Amino acid sequence: MKKLTATEEQIMQLIWDENPIIVSEIISKLPPPKPPHSTISSVVRILEKKGFVDHKAYGRTHVYFPIIAKEDYTKRSIKTLITDYFKGSPSALVSFLIKEKEIDEKEINDLINSIKDDE
């Protein structure tokens, strides 16, 4: 699975959330300033070439839908993050989140309880 640029990922998030979607709907959901239709259309075609989306044509209108699940991309992204920035250690990622106060004690306890429930 290929990596997405920041712009591609922003567009993919909308496609995952609004599945299916047309280019004009994508543009309407983007913050100002709104990019030109041709720009978003190009990004969506790149996503199609990368194997993230496909489309159905209804006349001149193309309706896009994801062919890579958000969960699958999330898993790959998290694994890459852990490998590239935390020496392959998930606990180093959790330690970082705690140190940066991105996760609090209640959330940690909830995670521990969730792990215990899965056992």
Domain ranges of the chain: 6-66, 70-118
The pLDDT of residue 118:
82
Residues 6+ apart with CB under 8 A from 116: none
Residue of 20 and 2 predicted with greater confidence:
20
The pLDDT of residue 5:
96
Look up the pTM and report it: 0.82
Q: Please state, in angstroms and rounded to a whole number, the distance separating the CA atoms of residues 39 and 41.
A: 5
Which CATH number applies to 70-118: 1.10.1060, 3.40.50, 1.10.10, 1.10.4040? Answer: 1.10.4040
Nearest 5°: phi and psi at 105? -60, -40
User: What CATH fold (topology level) applies to the domain 6-66?
Assistant: Arc Repressor Mutant, subunit A (1.10.10)
Nearest 5°: phi and psi at 102? -90, -10
Query: For residue 105, is pLDDT > 90?
Result: no
